[in-house]
């Protein structure tokens, strides 16, 4: 079981002021208010919150800065903001709004040196490189624009490059498993974990605590992002943590 303390993260995807959830990043439906859910998960004991603007790349802007500002008045755990961040100025604005970290995906692929510049200015610990992965003929391809656009880039090679560029952490989302609640893409996760030395946040597929416990038999999990099972009240944060601890995982209760 995990020697590393595994962080439990609530992932909140936002579109036009509402929290949304779908399957394979498609068929999105409204499930709540981002500030209210952030407060709820904080009070329940989540370790971190990930706020993602699901349509920011389409419109060339991030609409979460004001949400972060409001959330930070009542939520006192690390918050990562992602979606539509295109420049050092955007990163600066996000951090000044109250975010602790920023997540880059589309712009990291378009402008890889932004990772290096941002890490030099703000420190690698602030920079989370997001990868949206889809399985394709025996390998995984990196996608952008919330899983809509293919890039031709090999996920495992890209993860290694992101570490070299200066990212402090990787958010690895399996688009194939995302929203299905059927469990994680073990092969993808193990392959990436074996090739990088920075922490990896696992996202996409969590349907119950047993899925995490099963994965922990194969990799020393740094962090897991939950969305569906939290938003639909299938499991609470405390219940998830207690089940993981009961199986020997190192989780902060």
What burial class does residue 243 get, using C-beta atoms within 10 Å of its C-beta: 0-12 exposed, 13-18 middle, 19+ buried? middle
Widest pairwise Cα distance in the chain: 47
Query: Sign of dihedral through CA atoms 168, 24, 45, 186?
Result: negative
Annotation says 145 is catalytic: no
Selected catalytic residue, list 13, 47, 141, 163: 13
- State the Cα torsion 129-17-209-102 to the nearest 10°: 20
Annotation says 132 is catalytic: yes
Selected catalytic residue, list 47, 100, 132, 141: 132
Question: What distance in Å separates the CA atoms of residue 55 and residue 224, rounded to the nearest whole number?
Answer: 23
SS3 185: coil
Question: What distance in Å separates the CA atoms of residue 77 and residue 232, rounded to the nearest whole number?
Answer: 22
Q: Which residues are known to be catalytic?
A: 13, 132
């Amino acid at each position: 079981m995990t020697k590393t303390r595994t962080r439990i993260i609530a992932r909140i995807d936002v579109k036009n002021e509402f929290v949304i959830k779908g399957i394979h990043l498609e068929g999105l439906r409204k499930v709540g208010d981002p500030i209210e859910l952030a407060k709820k998960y904080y009070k329940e004991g989540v370790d971190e919150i990930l706020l993602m603007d699901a349509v920011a790349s389409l419109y060339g802007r991030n609409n979460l800065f004001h949400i972060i500002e409001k959330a930070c008045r009542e939520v006192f755990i690390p918050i990562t903001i992602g979606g539509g961040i295109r420049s050092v100025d955007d990163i600066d604005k996000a951090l000044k709004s109250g975010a602790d970290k920023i997540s880059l995906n589309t712009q990291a692929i378009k402008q890889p040196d932004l990772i290096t510049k941002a890490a030099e200015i703000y420190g690698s610990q602030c920079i989370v490189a997001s990868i949206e992965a889809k399985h394709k003929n025996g390998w995984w391809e990196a996608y952008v624009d919330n899983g809509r656009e293919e890039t031709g880039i090999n996920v495992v090679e890209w993860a290694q490059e992101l570490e070299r560029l200066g990212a402090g952490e990787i958010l690895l989302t399996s688009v194939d498993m995302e929203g299905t609640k059927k469990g994680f893409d073990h092969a993808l996760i193990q392959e990436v974990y074996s090739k990088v030395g920075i922490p990896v946040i696992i996202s996409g597929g969590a349907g119950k605590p047993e899925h995490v416990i099963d994965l922990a038999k194969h990799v020393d999990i740094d962090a897991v992002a939950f969305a569906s099972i939290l938003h639909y009240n299938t499991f609470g944060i405390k219940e998830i943590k207690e089940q993981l601890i009961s199986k020997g995982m190192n989780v902060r209760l």
